[in-house]
Amino acid sequence: MDRILIRGGNRLSGRLRISGAKNAALTLMPCALLTDEPLTLRNLPRLADVDGFGHLLNQLGASTRIEGTRPEDFGRVMTIRAGKLTSTEAPYDIVRKMRASILVLGPVLARAGEATVSLPGGCAIGNRPIDLHLKALEAIGAELEMAAGYVKATAPGGRLTGGRYRFPVVSVGATENVVMAAVLAKGSSVIENAAREPEIVDLCNCLVAMGARIEGIGTETLEIEGVDRLHGATYAVMPDRIEAGSYACAAAITGGSLELLGANAADMQATIDALREAGVTVTETRDGVSVEANAPLGPITLSTAPYPGFATDMQAQFMAMLCKASGASVLTETIFENRYMHVPELARMGADIQVHGRTAVVKGVDRLVGAPVMATDLRASMSLILAGLAAEGETSVARVYHLDRGYERLEEKLSAVGADIERASDG
């Protein structure tokens, strides 16, 4: 099994390219199931989750073709064609590895009139039930039953009717699923209290490029007029705002200076605001976003929230960064109840963190020390990488398959801007 080895203490400096967004890519890929024409996605990140989702699409009868890929290229161009769905079932063996697999439920149901999907897996960061997915689909005409760990959805008469649904709490995944289902419904649908994340906007824009009719994109109310069919399209995946934020934290914790090429400041404003509050200089450039940490980091108070609030996917990285701040920072996790599993691992490196329920108090320390640590989930993995970059001595991060799910060529990117980092295999 692979490990990441980091010898800390180097100041990062230079230009680092941001990849296509993992969370957007995994939402755009199932759009191909809504048409028999090809959907070509550009700027697709080279990630284990993207490969896994491609296998799931193959299982359902879609072909996937990678165009002109060279090993040294960042990003890929993938053409997906679901001329005919040969299966309407997403099996446990594939779905258990990746929670995003639940996103085939809406499009397969809309296209074929039925879908059977295993309950999902993914990172062990807390309870993430799919009840909101199911309630939203019911509201637009689906009939559902659960048995033996599977959800079976049907559209009476072979097609969803459309309808109105208001989410009791904001749910990104459920918003994505119901939007993809509603675009082929017989009637119109209104989705209230919809998630507003940039990845939702990216999804809606891709669907519109395929012929969908959606109003209110980027707001909490989406109005969707169902159409008889969608056509193919070519669409570029948005840059990864979480990857950009992660590398911004890398610049900050090492007292470095990085230009994040391709990063979109508008999509990551809450992250930028928090960095500035901690004393980091962040400026927009012609090619992306520049991050510079010339002064000691200061303590801040943060609470995660749905977009446009501070993203839960950035909490672990900020916790690592704030281990080097002067003073005590307070972080509150409101989205997932089990997202502090990285705390004991950071403590092994000398961090001073006290957790009280959903709140963590991070007291800055003079030095972090390299140690063997173990990744527990995707973003926790990155927090350990960040701590390792600033630690004295060598840090060994085990279970890096989590990192491979969400960070494209991490070692290459960090090495190119001055990090002493490499991947090692245990055999």
Residue 15 known to bind ligand = no
Tell me whether residue 85 is annotated as binding.
Answer: no
DSSP 8-state secondary structure symbol assigned to residue 30 = G
Residue 170 structure tokens? 């904001």
**Does the annotation place 22 within a ligand binding site?**
yes
Q: How do beta strands 352-356 and 359-363 pair?
A: antiparallel
Decide if 206 is catalytic.
no
Is 335 annotated to bind a ligand? Reply is yes
Structure-token pair, residue 346: 């950071």
Burial of 73 per CB tally in 10 Å (0-12, 13-18, 19+): exposed
* CA 336/CA 125 separation, integer angstroms: 7
224 is in an annotated binding site: no
CA distance 398 to 385: 11
372 is in an annotated binding site: no
313 is in an annotated binding site: yes
Cβ–Cβ < 8 Å for 302, 271: no
Q: Are 189 and 167 in contact (CB under 8 A)?
A: no
Say if residue 168 carries a ligand binding annotation: no
Assess contact for 43 and 408: CB atoms under 8 A.
Answer: no
207 is in an annotated binding site: no
Q: Is 3 annotated as a binding residue?
A: no
Q: What is the dihedral of CA 140, 145, 150, 155, to 10 degrees?
A: -40
Q: CA 388 to CA 4: how far, in whole Å? A: 10
- With contact defined as beta carbons under 8 Å apart, do 397 and 375 qualify? yes
Catalytic residue, from 123, 204, 249, 323: name it. 123
First to last CA, the chain: 7
Q: Are strands 394-398 and 114-118 parallel, antiparallel or unpaired?
A: unpaired
Q: Pick out the residues of the known binding site for phosphoenolpyruvate.
A: 22-23
Going by the annotation, the residues of the binding site for UDP-N-acetyl-alpha-D-glucosamine are 99, 128-132, 313, 335
As annotated, the active-site residues are 123
Residue ranges of the binding site: 22-23, 99, 128-132, 313, 335
